[in-house]
Structure formats: C-alpha cells, structure tokens
Amino acid sequence: MTGPGRFEIRIICHPADADRITAALAGAFTTGPIRQYPTRDRSRIRFYVTATERASAPVLRLVPPDH
C-alpha cells in the first residue's frame, strides 16, 4: 500500500539489466524491498518496488541496452 509521497514502480526487463536498473532506482528514490517475479514467458523478469521521493532526488537516466 502506498501513502502520501509513496508510489509503486513496476519494471519488466531482461535479467542482465536488473542490477543496473535497481541500483539506479535506489540512487534516485528511497526504496523498500524489491519483489521479483518471472514474466509469463520466462524470458524476462518483472519487479515491483515501493518508493518515496527524496527531498532532492537526482535525475534518473537509464540508457537503453544494446540488445
């Protein structure tokens, strides 16, 4: 459940990108535990994170992978 200033983030990505993405989220927001599940086709993962904005959050910039 989210409250004021809190929100849920859902991401679907390739397993090779998960660590980079979760590190970027943790750098931009105050995050709770990451809940991770496989997608239906099992080729990617989906994860959910409850986040809270920081007072002066850095800009989140993700560069698309080459694959």
d(CA 36, CA 22) in angstroms, rounded, equals: 11
Kindly report the pTM of this predicted structure.
Answer: 0.66
d(CA 13, CA 54) in angstroms, rounded, equals: 25
pLDDT by position in tens, the chain (length 67): 555 688 999 999 999 999 999 999 888 889 999 999 999 999 999 999 999 887 665 566 677 776 5
Structure tokens at 44: 């990617």
Is the C-alpha dihedral spanning 34, 26, 28, 61 positive or negative?
A: negative
